């Protein structure tokens, strides 16, 4: 297990009392807290280096540009991409997936198919719905088996009609890991592009985009200790070269004439306008922090927490859990419902005990409908969570059960 006592010292926000109880932050799938190292980099950037990038020759502009591009290199190394040309700064996963769907609009023909799963986040649903609407392509869903992706269903639905397969590596509701490497192989066999939504995987486990052999991989900085408003879209260089920019303006051009313009080379052709410079630099600091602890160690830590807490939650009568039953197949995202209690009431009861969990549809309404529920509560762990936090979650759910059973 990681030494969470030491790690928590880097996160001042965690050291507070909420409703007279010490805060237990279990909403990491929504967003994560930021260590001092990230906050200090943000502050130092604005205090000493603030300037626009790629434009000035003065010292501050050169420093800002160097730090911005150094962060791109850190992101490249983090996901093991071949080249920084393949690493685009975005606003987050949503932007990345929208950019890929925009490329899809250029290549899809009526009758083509896009294969996604029923567990996808709205960010990996709606851009594809829009691409279908614009092109006459069809959106096809893979469903579930035993709380996980049904690979037989996926194989049955893949065909030469399939042009894009877009799947989350880790679900933000079910807490399952999807075999995206295997799926990429299958997608490529039928000539489809493989897109991976890495929002819930990149923060929690080692990523190697070359090994996965995906064509695109999108993730968000704020879910991995970085600031909001910054993320990465990885794309294979050869594909990005064929892909049109989605936004146009300053920064992304080479020459502009009265009636036309041409684009800068990769990766800058996709980065129109002044980017989120401070965010990109601070994301680099977050990646440094994660690297220092080790992504394999973070993954192992979360696996241990799940192995510890899942059986305790499974033992609570009236608590329905979603996703794989086997802790070894479960990520640190656990969604649940308590019989007869609305998840918002449950989350409010947990908040009274100092626990921050999320309740709602988790931006996955097709999945929630498919499960036959209206919403669910969700606890999600990260590197600063401990077994003690798990115990508090179990105790707080038991206390809520007692309270609501008394009032029902």
Ligand X SMILES: Cc1ncc(COP(=O)(O)O)c(C=O)c1O
Residues interacting with ligand X, by CB under 6 A?
Answer: 29, 92-94, 121, 123-124, 168, 172, 197, 199-200, 220, 363
Indicate which residue of 176, 214, 363, 390 is catalytic.
363
Known catalytic residue at 363: yes
Least distance (Å) between residue 31 CB and ligand X? 8
Bridge partner residues of 255 (DSSP) = 262
| Of residues 67 and 125, the one with the C-beta less far from ligand X | 125
Closest CB to ligand X among residues 64, 295: 295
Quote the CA–CA distance of 163 and 109 in Å, as a whole number.
9
108 class by beta-carbon count within 10 Å (0-12 exposed, 13-18 middle, 19+ buried):
buried
Instruction: List CB contacts of 332: < 8 A, sequence separation 6 or more.
Output: 28, 175, 204, 302, 303, 305, 306, 380, 381, 382, 385
Burial class of residue 297 (count of CB atoms within 10 Å of its CB; 0-12, 13-18, 19+): middle
We find the least distance from the C-beta atom of residue 273 to ligand X, in angstroms, to be: 18
Copy the structure tokens of residue 257: 């004439």
C-beta of 336 vs 404, nearer to ligand X: 336
Integer Cα distance of 228 and 407 in angstroms: 40
| CB 56, min distance to ligand X, A | 30
For the CB of residue 171, give the shortest distance to ligand X in the complex, in Å: 7
Q: Which one, 333 or 396, has the nearer CB to ligand X?
A: 333
Nearer to ligand X, 212 or 396 (CB): 212
- Closest to ligand X by CB, 219 vs 404, is 219
Compute the C-alpha angle 84/90/91, nearest 5°. 150
Q: Return phi, psi of residue 382, to 5°.
A: -145, -170
Q: Quick one: which of 334, 278, 267 has its CA closest to 307?
A: 334
For residue 280, count CB atoms less than 10 angstroms from its CB and return exposed for 0-12, middle for 13-18, buried for 19 or more: buried
CA distances (Å), origin 318, targets 294, 306, 335, 345: 38, 20, 14, 15
3-class secondary structure per residue, 152-169: HHHHHHCCCCEEEEEEEC
Residue 373 CA to residue 315 CA, distance in Å, equals 21
Which are the catalytic amino acids?
363
């Amino acid at each position: 297990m990681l030494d969470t006592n030491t790690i928590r010292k880097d996160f001042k926000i965690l050291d507070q009392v909420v409703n007279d109880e010490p805060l237990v932050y279990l909403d990491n799938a929504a967003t994560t807290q930021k260590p001092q190292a990230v906050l200090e980099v943000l502050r130092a950037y604005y205090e000493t280096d603030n300037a626009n990038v790629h434009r000035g020759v003065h010292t501050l502009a050169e420093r800002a540009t160097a730090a911005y591009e150094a962060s791109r290199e850190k992101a490249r190394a983090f996901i093991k991409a071949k080249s920084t040309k393949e690493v685009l700064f975005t606003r987050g996963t949503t932007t990345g997936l929208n950019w890929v769907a925009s490329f899809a609009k250029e290549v899809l023909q009526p009758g083509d198919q896009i294969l996604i799963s029923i567990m996808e986040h709205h960010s990996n649903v709606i851009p594809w719905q829009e691409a279908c609407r614009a092109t006459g392509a069809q959106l096809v869903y893979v469903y579930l088996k035993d709380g996980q992706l049904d690979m037989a269903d996926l194989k049955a639905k893949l065909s030469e009609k399939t042009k894009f397969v877009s799947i989350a590596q880790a679900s933000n509701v079910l807490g399952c890991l999807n075999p995206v490497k295997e799926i990429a192989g299958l997608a490529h066999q039928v000539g489809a592009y493989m897109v991976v939504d890495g929002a819930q995987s990149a923060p929690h486990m080692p990523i190697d985009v070359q090994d996965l052999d995906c064509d695109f991989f999108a993730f968000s900085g704020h879910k991995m200790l970085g600031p909001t408003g910054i993320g990465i879209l990885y794309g294979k260089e050869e594909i990005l070269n064929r892909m049109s920019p989605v936004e146009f303006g300053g920064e992304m051009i080479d020459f502009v004439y009265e009636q036309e313009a041409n684009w800068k080379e990769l990766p800058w052709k996709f980065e129109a306008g002044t980017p989120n410079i401070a965010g990109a630099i601070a994301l680099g600091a977050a990646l440094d922090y994660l690297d220092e602890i080790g992504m394999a160690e973070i993954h192992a830590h979360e696996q241990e927490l799940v192995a510890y807490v899942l059986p305790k939650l499974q033992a609570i009568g009236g608590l329905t859990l979603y996703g794989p039953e086997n802790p070894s197949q479960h990520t640190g995202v656990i969604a649940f419902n308590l019989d007869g209690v609305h998840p918002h009431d449950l989350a409010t009861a947990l908040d009274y005990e100092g626990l921050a969990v999320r309740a709602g549809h988790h931006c996955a309404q097709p999945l929630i409908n498919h499960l036959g529920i209206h919403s669910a509560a969700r606890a999600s762990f990260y590197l600063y969570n401990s077994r003690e936090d798990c115990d508090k979650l179990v105790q707080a759910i038991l206390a809520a059960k007692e309270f609501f059973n008394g009032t029902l």
